[in-house]
Homo-oligomer: A and B are copies of this chain.
Amino acid sequence: MKRNFVFIQLISFGIASLLMSFAHAADSKDPLPSWNDTDIKRNIIKFVTDVTDKTGKHFVDPEDRIATIDNDGTLWIEKPIYTQGVFMLDRIKKLAPEHPEWKTEEPYSYILDDDIKALTNLTVQDIERLIAVTHSRMSVDQFNKIVKIWLKKAKNPQFDRPYTELIYLPMIEVINYLYDNDFKIYIVTGGGQDFVRAFSENTYKIPPENIIGSSIKTEYTYQGSKPILIKLPELFLVSDKKGKAEAINLFIGKKPIIAFGNSDGDREMLEWTESNKERHLMLLVHHDDAKREYAYGPESKVGTFSNALMAEARSHKWNVISMKHDWKTIFP
Contact = CB atoms under 8 A, between A and B. Distances in A.
A99 to B, nearest CB: 28
A306 B286 CA distance: 58
B207 A229 contact: no
A63 interface: yes
A229 B251 contact: no
Give the most central of A226, A249, A252: most B CB within 10 Å: A249
Given A207-B63, A254-B208, A245 B220 contact: yes
Contact of A268 (B193, B220, B246, B251): B220
A132 to B, nearest CB: 18
Contacts of A220: 242-243, 245-246, 268, 272
B227 A272 contact: yes
Given A249-B140, A271-B227, A254 B209 contact: yes
A145 B253 CA distance: 14
Interface residues of A, number: 36
B229 A245 contact: yes
Contact of A252 (B209, B226, B253): B209
A83 to B, nearest CB: 19
Interface in A224-242: 226-227, 229, 242
A209 B184 contact: yes
Contacts of A242: 219-220
A211 interface: yes
Contacts of A218: 246, 249-250
A220 B254 CA distance: 14
A229 B249 contact: yes
Nearest to A222: B271
Nearest to A231: B249
Interface in A166-225: 184, 193-194, 197, 207-209, 211, 215, 217-220
A16 interface: no
B252 A208 contact: yes
Contact of A246 (B8, B11, B219, B253): B219
A275 interface: yes
Residue among A63, A242, A253 with max Cβ neighbours from chain B (10 Å): A253
Q: Which of A209, A215, A242 has most chain B Cβ within 10 Å?
A: A209
A87 B14 CA distance: 59
A65 to B, nearest CB: 12
A223 to B, nearest CB: 10
A242 B227 CA distance: 10
Interface in A135-157: 140
Contacts of A250: 193, 215, 218
8 contacts: A11-B11, A63-B207, A140-B249, A208-B252, A220-B245, A220-B268, A227-B275, A229-B246
